[in-house]
Amino acid sequence: MKKRTLRARGRGELVPLAGGRVALERDVRIPVRDGITLSADVFRPAAGSPVPAILEHVPYRKDDVTAVRDRRLGCALAKRGFALVCLDVRGTGRSDGIAVDEYTEAEQEDGVEAVEWTAAQKWCSGAVGAYGVSYGGFAAIQVAMRRPPALRAIASVYSTDDRYTDDVHFYGGALCALELVHYPLRMVAMNGLPPGGSLGERGREAWRARIDATPPWILNWLQEQHDGPYWRSGSLRPAYERIVCPTLLVGGWRDGYVNAAVRMAERLEAPWKLVVGPWPHVRPNIAAVPPTMDLVGLLETWFGRHLRGDAASGEDATLVFVQDYDDPRRVPERISGAWRRFGAWPREEIRLRRLHLDGGGMLAAEPVSPVELEIENAPHAGTQIGVWCPPPPPHGLPGDQRPDEVHALTFTTAPLEEEAVCLGFPRLRIAVSHPGPTALLSAKLADVAPDGCSQLVTRTVLNLSHRDGHTQPAPLPRLTWIPAELELDATAWRFAPGHRIRLALASSDWPTIWPAPTSERLRVRVGDGEAALELPLAPAGEPADVLPAPEPEDEPTVAEGTRVATWRSVRDGIARTAGIESNTDLVHEVHETGTTIRETRAFATAASESDPLDIVVGGTTTFELHRPDVHVRSAATARITSSADAFRLELALEIEADGEPFAHRRWDERVPRDLL
């Protein structure tokens, strides 16, 4: 049944939800300093006194693409006595302006003004928080850095304090590969969709003008290959003192942003709480493989305390899920492990266990005689890694590492006599030699079961020309032994008695990272007392009972579904290439506006087994938007290749309106590679 829509005092449209207990005010216009207006949807209790408000600021189109999740969260929070303000980033959705890039200075200032605007509304108590997952979590951190007076607390889920080291662009100073056609391509297609509201002739002209003025964000990212002012804008690191409000940090051990959550817990001076579960880049309440967590309840407790003065819950500052071994050859019904709580991040209580690499492939307590080893040139190695961030599989879990370990140097302990719990950032120190000017070193830590199966624990990559930092990379001195230090991603993992700890060193991590343009083999020196893996071993912590997330409450005004989600490792026996193929098909519906939006994604990557220049990353993202005033198809397609000295991006955007061509754009760009 359609919900009744009313005009609200000339501002937005009022839509009653949850049996009339929740009011959704759609397309509320927020004026900002340069004369444009931004569009917000406000979910609030339909009656009662003013309430605290929570801002979520993202470019993902609240009227259609995120409508289902927004309504479910908005209703849930409104029933608990909060208002949720969902704001379209400038130049996206119904907001005015042009989206020239992500996290621009103008966008960050918009967030500050939106906080102050929200605090001044009659339905708001004057206390405002900021929340978001991924992009919205970035935005919450960025607005907190600017300290608007009304901002009392933030909740940042799966986001980062450092846009260069921990995002979908670069990893360890190396260029991300698959991510180049996932998120960037999705934004090209999404930014081609029309603004919300009815489209007349003038509206279509404005839509076409927006398409023509909006650049593909990926071009900036390809060109900004080193850390510097571009990436520092919107990054909290290293000036953590800029945040003074209480901060809730939520991370996932299988998510690409987990390092930032742990890092911020170690360094923030403001009050904080850290929650890290075994999740990939999916909300804790809807993870495909349990355990789940009640995200809404977590937000209610956090914002209730800091926005309206609820009594403190008495919970400790750190709650982590310590993972345990699962057979990586199949998806588990539930990820093994246990929740543990600590009074704070237990940095002072962690002790380091030093394991030495030796020439016989052992990780041992003491070094033996020095030996030099070569790492195989294998640009295609790494396809068992799983997902750094979306796309699917929905569970995001890595497979058995042995097919990749064939192309690596492996170093393995004897079976453990007692358990070892690793919590934090493992570190590898090792001497390397290469003809240069650059090379990659991939390090993966695995839990090896008695039957030989190898389950990924954590990993990292270092572009060795970035060995001394990411701002001014330096070519490798030719065939000279130099020290390298790699910090592996944060983890919480219990190695059981009888299991073995394995370190695998490889020259590639495909398709997470674009291979280095060299066929020369990297050499490492082990057994000298310097080549060592340091594991941060943790105290036991206190057992914690964490209830699973309840089933989401039904909201009959919206519906969603997943038609397809695939992820396949593929080897071409004729071309001698390896990579992945992935497809998704998602549908969202908003009943009272008659809106349906379908999103399909298809990706394919292929890397030669021997030639690091024979690399292809390609994909297509398509949105099909159906609403009473227009039917739209927006498709973005990209193909990325490389030579020894440049990347080539071939990108196309095709848009149809009501079955007819409406707009198209083409880019064919050559971007020099600088020590990548």
Residue 169 lies in a domain: no
Q: Which domain, by its residues, includes 568? A: 181-221+555-672
Residues 273 and 382 in one domain: no
> In sequence order, which residues have a C-beta less than 8 Å from that of residue 495 and are 6 or more positions away?
325, 416, 419, 420, 421, 422, 447, 501
Residue ending a domain, among 521, 543, 565, is 543
Q: How many domains does the chain have?
A: 3
> Could you report the per-residue pLDDT of 477-513, keeping only the tens digit for each?
999 999 999 999 999 999 999 999 999 999 999 999 9
One domain for residues 519 and 455: yes
Whether the pLDDT of residue 200 is over 90: the answer is: no
Q: Confirm whether 582 is domain-assigned.
A: yes
pLDDT surpasses 70 at 7 = no
Element (H, E) at 504: strand 500-506
Q: Identify the band that residue 346 occupies on the pLDDT scale cut at 50, 70 and 90.
A: confident
Q: Does residue 306 lie in a domain region?
A: yes
Say if residue 362 is in the same domain as residue 330: no
Is the peptide bond prior to 216 cis by the omega test (within 30 degrees of 0)? no
Domain boundary among the residues 313, 342, 371 is at 342
- The residue from 342, 362, 385 where one domain ends is 342
Residues 288, 251 share a domain? yes
Q: Is residue 549 part of a domain?
A: no
What's the CATH number where 452 sits?
A: 2.60.120.260
Residue 357 sits in the same domain as residue 335:
no
Do 514 and 605 lie in one domain? The reply is no
Return the CATH number at 144.
Answer: 3.40.50.1820
- The span from the CA of 618 to the CA of 625, in Å, is 23
User: Domain check: are 101 and 245 in the same one?
Assistant: yes
Judge whether residue 4 has pLDDT over 90: no
Asked if residue 159 lies in contact with residue 132, where contact means CB atoms within 8 angstroms, the answer is yes
Q: In this predicted structure, what is the pLDDT of residue 537?
A: 96
Token pair, residue 160, equals 């980062």
Q: What is the pLDDT of residues 82-97, one digit of tens each?
A: 999 999 999 999 999 9
- Domain contains 176: no
525 plus 440 within the same structural domain? yes
Closest CA to 25 of 92, 65, 84: 84
| pLDDT in the model for residue 10 | 37
Could you tell me if 191 and 325 lie in one domain? Answer: no
Scored b (16 or more CB within 10 A) or e, 275-305 reads: bbbbbbbbbbbebbbebbbbbbebbbbbbbb
What is the SS3 assignment for 115?
A: helix
Residue 227 is assigned to a structural domain of this protein: no
The reply to whether 15 falls in a domain is yes
Query: The tokens 């002209």 sit on which residue?
Result: 205
Least confident of 198-202, 280-284, 360-364, 397-401: 198-202
Q: Do residues 52 and 148 both lie within one domain?
A: yes
Instruction: Grade residue 80 by pLDDT with cuts at 50, 70 and 90.
Output: very high
Whether residue 640 sits in one domain with residue 491? no
Does 351 lie in the same domain as 253?
A: no
- Percent over 90 (pLDDT), the chain: 89
pLDDT digits (tens, 9 = 90+) for 219-231: 999 999 999 999 9
Average pLDDT estimate for 328-352: 93
Q: What is the mean pLDDT of the chain?
A: 94
Q: Does any domain span residue 432?
A: yes
Indicate the pLDDT class of residue 11, thresholds 50, 70 and 90.
Answer: low
